[in-house]
Amino acid sequence: MTPKQVLQLVKTKKIEFIDCRFMDFPGLWQHTTYPVSELKEESFTHGFGFDGSSIRGWQAINESDMLIVPVADTAKVDPFYERPTLSLICDIKDPITQKSYSRDPRSIARKATKYLKETKLADKAYFGPEMEYFVFDQVRYDQGVNHAVYEVDSAEGVWNRGRNWPGNLGNQVRQREGYFPCPPMDTGHNLRSEMSAIMQELGLSVECHHHEVATGGQAEIDLEYQDLVPMADACMLYKYIVKNVAARYGKVATFMPKPLFQDNGSGMHTHFSLWKGTKNLFAGRRYGGFSQMGLYAIGGILRHAPALLAFTNPTTNSYKRLVPGYEAPVNLTYSSRNRSAAIRIPQYSQKPETRRLEFRTPDCSSNPYLAFSAMLMAAIDGIQNKIDPGDPLDKDLYDLEPAEREAIPHAPSELSEALDALEADHDFLLQGKVFTDDVIHYWIKYKREEEVQALRQRPHPYEFCMYFDI
């Protein structure tokens, strides 16, 4: 859409409010709402003023004035508000310089796509994330001076199998057996269909939906791949729809990577390929049907994977998922079949246009603008420097000799390790001024102080199980 077309849509749909949405630094949508009378054609250039100092990870109080600038082609009529409302994703600019704000995640993603074209390696970077989540019937959690508690519940959770209540019909999903039974065991089918229908109404291209492996309402809805920035926009709209439809049904959806102990966590397996015109540059005749360029891209992602995880797996909870077992991609290697490898080359189809790599490590706690941009920058570095990914891992890990197994590089085991890796290895992200030193420095600082240190300072409930009787 153009700004004029948006203004015409406002009239046609009798819109009353304009909802402006943007990303905070860690990765949550924020919004502010204006009466429709405030939206003019110049609003798409000049934007609206707001206080940037109140947004997590942004400006200091003495430089708080910022501009929120609507992007016309992201306009959607919101299906959840009672009054007719048009939502618009926005970019953030400095009101004095009129330049994009360096810590605005969407701005970083736009710079990444611009840099790709400047390298002349490719025209497009296509991303197709498989976003997984849980839907629970209720949740409670709290942390105080003398207590810490959390509990999530779902009627289909295996822990409710022996519960004596009228609604228990014995259709609970056994642990790690949720991929994928039919109803009535799959209690979330109608919910996912409603989510998928709304996604399609709002312009997202849905490929399929299904129950996922874990008990307790784990699910996945797959979207068709898109270029980097539109795909990151789609990820945020996806999460918004999933959470709001769940709330309509009196349930709660979470993209937390590991809400359940001893069952599969939720990942965001990300399919990725580079294209020039109508040609898939990753298609070829080398291993897995890949081109040499594609293998170099794999080499770059594997080389920088410990640092990448600071963006693709950016929470302390992310590393509760990245443990051996549970199909977790903890091995920093690649394969055409092995799902414990960090990168897989899917073999569902042998058509050149379907050839892509699947980076299996990321999860949905990530900021998609930053995660996809960092992936792209690692791949570009691999191609430019011809980084050899080494030999693929096509063997069963359980059949390997101990020495052979130990020689396989592993993903960081906790967020602090990934942050240390990013601190030591981030020059590849600075190319083309896509990321800045300020962004890298502040991301590490924020994550260490607000998350890693915050968790370290608090007693964990399981510590009482281990140590209270000392």
Contact of 67 with 49, CB cutoff 8 Å: yes
Report pLDDT digits (tens) over 322-344: 987 667 788 999 998 777 899 99
| Maximum distance among all Cα pairs of the chain, rounded to whole angstroms | 71
For residue 462, pLDDT beyond 90: yes
Q: Average pLDDT for residues 403-422, to the nearest whole number?
A: 93
Q: Average pLDDT for residues 401-410, to the nearest whole number?
A: 84
Q: Average pLDDT for residues 254-279, to the nearest whole number?
A: 96
For residue 64, pLDDT beyond 50: yes
Q: What angle do CA 306, 310, 311 make, to 5 degrees?
A: 120
For residue 204, pLDDT beyond 70: yes
Q: Which residues are annotated as a binding site?
A: 130, 132, 207, 212, 220, 264-265, 269, 271-273, 321, 327, 339, 358, 360
Q: Average pLDDT for residues 179-199, to the nearest whole number?
A: 95
Rg of the chain in Å (alpha carbons) = 23
Structure tokens, 262: 């001893």
Q: b/e per residue, 384-417, with b = 16+ CB within 10 A? A: eeebebeebbeeeeeeeeeeeeeeeebbbeebbe
Q: Average pLDDT for residues 22-38, to the nearest whole number?
A: 94
For residue 169, pLDDT beyond 80: yes
Q: Which residues are catalytic?
A: 51, 130, 132, 212, 220, 269, 339, 358, 360
DSSP 155: T
Q: Which residues of the chain does CATH 3.10.20.70 include?
A: 3-101
Q: Which residues of the chain does CATH 3.30.590.10 include?
A: 124-467
In this prediction, residue 82 has a pLDDT band, given cuts at 50, 70 and 90, of very high
| Low-confidence winner among 62-66, 175-179, 282-286, 337-341 (lowest mean pLDDT) | 62-66
Three-state secondary-structure class, residue 42:
coil
Structure tokens, 80: 């959840």
For residue 63, pLDDT beyond 70: no
Question: For the whole model, what pTM was predicted?
Answer: 0.96
Three-state secondary-structure class, residue 73:
helix
What is residue 52's predicted lDDT score, i.e. its pLDDT?
Answer: 78
Contact of 382 with 432, CB cutoff 8 Å: no
Between CA 211 and CA 214 the distance in angstroms is: 8
| Low-confidence winner among 150-159, 171-180, 238-247, 446-455 (lowest mean pLDDT) | 171-180
Q: Could you tell me which residues are beta bridge partners of residue 276?
A: 279
Between CA 313 and CA 318 the distance in angstroms is: 5
The strand pair at 226-227 and 124-136 is best described as antiparallel
Q: Average pLDDT for residues 346-372, to the nearest whole number?
A: 94
For residue 180, say if its preceding peptide bond is cis, omega within 30 degrees of 0: yes
What is residue 59's predicted lDDT score, i.e. its pLDDT?
Answer: 62
Q: What angle do CA 430, 434, 439 make, to 5 degrees?
A: 75
Which alpha helices (DSSP H) does 216-348 contain, by range? 228-248, 292-312, 318-321
What is residue 326's predicted lDDT score, i.e. its pLDDT?
Answer: 67
Lookup result for tokens 């990151």? 232
Shortest CA distance to 52 belongs to which of 103, 122, 111, 97? Answer: 103
Helix (H) or strand (E) holding 112: helix 105-119
Structure tokens, 88: 């618009």
Q: Average pLDDT for residues 114-123, to the nearest whole number?
A: 98
For residue 61, pLDDT beyond 50: no
Contact of 23 with 39, CB cutoff 8 Å: no
Asked if the 124-467 domain carries CATH number 3.30.590.10, the reply is: yes
DSSP 451: I
Contact of 415 with 452, CB cutoff 8 Å: yes
Between CA 224 and CA 212 the distance in angstroms is: 18
Structure tokens, 197: 């229908």
Report pLDDT digits (tens) over 227-260: 999 999 999 999 999 999 999 999 999 999 999 9
Identify the architecture of domain 3-101 in CATH. Answer: Roll (3.10)
DSSP 366: S
What is residue 365's predicted lDDT score, i.e. its pLDDT?
Answer: 97
What is residue 55's predicted lDDT score, i.e. its pLDDT?
Answer: 81
Lookup result for tokens 């996912």? 192
Q: Which residues are annotated as a binding site for ATP?
A: 207, 271-273, 339
What is residue 461's predicted lDDT score, i.e. its pLDDT?
Answer: 92
Contact of 135 with 150, CB cutoff 8 Å: no
